[in-house]
Amino acid sequence: MRWGVITFPGSCDDQDVVDALRTDLRQPVETLWHKDELRGDFDCLVLPGGFSYGDYLRCGAMARFSPIMRGVVQFAESGGLVLGICNGFQILCESGLLPGALVRNAGLQFICQPVHLRVEETDTPFTGGVKKGQLLEIPIKHGEGCYFADAPTLERLRKNRQILLRYVDAKGKPTAAANPNGSLENIAGICNEQRNVFGLMPHPEDACNKILGSDDGAKIFASIAAACAERAKRHG
């Protein structure tokens, strides 16, 4: 298993992802710079959170043109696993690897707090290690995390079961009060139709050790590692 974590100008959660993978999950990680071409064999690429290019124009709108993104798109199109966290999710939407967009929070304020998430689908490399309907507690920290898509796109997401995580209350209900940013249908994370690209606004790297209040985020990284190990076994 080989992870690559990409740093863009303004990324601030890249090292948190590296530390969570290396320290908490004992995974080999390589850091990648946005200006470099993507080289080497990776099992999963991570686009971390932060404020790439200062969030000028739109969140992720400039980072999508970084040289390394050509390789990320090719990697994803060839079936490689790509995980976008917060700003990484925004970059994936801007690059066309995921549908929809992330816009200003409904309350027009930056939010930093733990949230409850309900796992909607488990037949993906990112959620294969958890159960459908399982609740996860993972923090968010964003100002533009409101997921938006037009009606036809939302219908495709539902039909193809691409909505992987929803914001819910402590009892697992997707209520308006449990929706921290106004995302349509309480959407917290989606995947592409091929199910190898996943974007989510919550930060699993900040919930990989109980000393942080929750280790539920580790379940997502562990799911990816297990899926890659199974893939290697099949092709080995």
Residue 138 φ/ψ, nearest 5 degrees: -140, 140
Catalytic residue among 94, 120, 144, 205: 205
Catalytic residue among 191, 203, 208, 228: 203
Whether 34 is catalytic is no
Q: What is the C-alpha end-to-end distance of the chain, expressed in Å?
A: 13
What kind and span of H or E run contains 140?
Answer: strand 135-142
Q: Which residue has the tokens 């917060």?
A: 86
Whether 203 is catalytic is yes
Closest Cα partner for 188 from 208, 164, 207, 170?
A: 164
Q: Which residue has the tokens 């932060």?
A: 50
183 in Cβ contact with 116 (< 8 Å): no
Catalytic residue among 44, 86, 146, 228: 86
Which residues have a catalytic role annotated?
86, 203, 205
